[in-house]
Amino acid sequence: MSAPRLEVDLEKIRHNASALVSQLRGRGISVTGVTKACLGEPRFANALLGAGIKGLGDSRIENIEAMRRAGIKAPMTLIRSPMPSQADRVVAHADISFNTELDVIGALSAAARRAGRRHGVVLMVEMGDLREGIMPGDLQETVRAALRFPNIDLKGIGTNLACQSGVSPDAGNMSDLSRLADVLDEAFGLVIRVVSGGNSSNLEWALSGEKAGRINNLRLGESILLGLNPLDRQPIEGLYTNAISLVAEVIEAKTKPSRPWGKIAQTAFGAMPPSGQDGSAFRTILALGRQDIDPLGLTAAPGIEVLGASSDHLMVDTGKSYVSAGSEMTFQLNYSALLRAMTSPFVTKTYSLPAGQGAFEARMAPGPRSSEELHQWH
């Protein structure tokens, strides 16, 4: 099998999604399954739908188009504000889009009229993280203007937290968002049907027992893929943390000094190299680099240390363990490394399917037995 490659266990993905859907259903919160990290891969999308997720979300219209071409008919939401230049494509393939600018909604309205369609809009509200969002004091004016656009249906409001500035979702900002929905209902005689509280970072709040208020939707991607809480990257109880692994091939393995020698300048990426320690070690190079992954987002097996990466080479210290050229090493990834690996055309993506669901090799793990089993090294 070719390397480097991502190995995606769709049965573990399905388990993670199903567990979160079940837990949140009891709180009156639906899940939008976010497909952007897997570039709208239809097999991943179908695993989410098979877990009970009803609607999918992606930040790129290209990924939504790919899923439509694959025959996926589930409701689709574009979770990044559309580019006006893509308004016709957004209206053609996405049922709903997240918006903050009236000019963009105007472009969607015109595109929907041309296509003889209606397009749903969720208005994103700024709640402190300073990424996208309408300031709360401007929301009523924006709603008033949005309601005038033909062929546009106001579906709800939403917010995003913990992405740009690390502002955590909590009882305070979720209550504020709920109150905004109440204010809009009263001011405009509406029933705001969708109040999307945020992403995987909301899970700690959502499952804490705090009142959900009007929050009835979360957009989940990272927690399903990696089984981690994005606020502290700790495992979420009951979820697999090894559903996705990265496998790379060794192209050099030699005993070398731990310290570089010669006149030291900046590295290829502008940093000063670490000084290292005296002595020597088995220094192994793998055919993988910054063009493919974020080296800071890789976790190697016990006893192996990731030293750094150039564009095309990943250097690791294998301690006293010798590996030979042509052998393979497996790593776990954080979200940053996963996004880059998925985007790289040089990293093969393999998807294991449950038995009887296709021609792909089934590498399905048994159902979870304990937290220790769920979080064991893959």
Active site amino acids: 36
- Residue 2 burial (C-beta neighbours within 10 Å; 0-12, 13-18, 19+): exposed
Structure tokens at 108: 């969607």
Count CB atoms within 10 A of the CB of residue 59: 18
Cβ contact 127:173 at 8 Å: yes
What CA–CA distance (Å, rounded) separates 58 from 5? 23
Distances in whole angstroms, Cα of residue 187 to Cα of each of 45, 135, 176, 191, 377 = 38, 17, 16, 11, 54
The per-residue DSSP string of 112-148 comes to HHHHT--EEEEEEB--SS-SS-B-GGGHHHHHHHHTT
Bond prior to 169 in cis (omega within 30° of 0): no
Match 């893929």 to its residue by tokens.
225
Alpha-carbon Rg for the chain, nearest whole angstrom, is 23
Nearest to 2 by CA among 346, 313, 362, 339: 346
What CA–CA distance (Å, rounded) separates 63 from 214? 30
Nearest to 74 by CA among 41, 116, 98, 45: 45
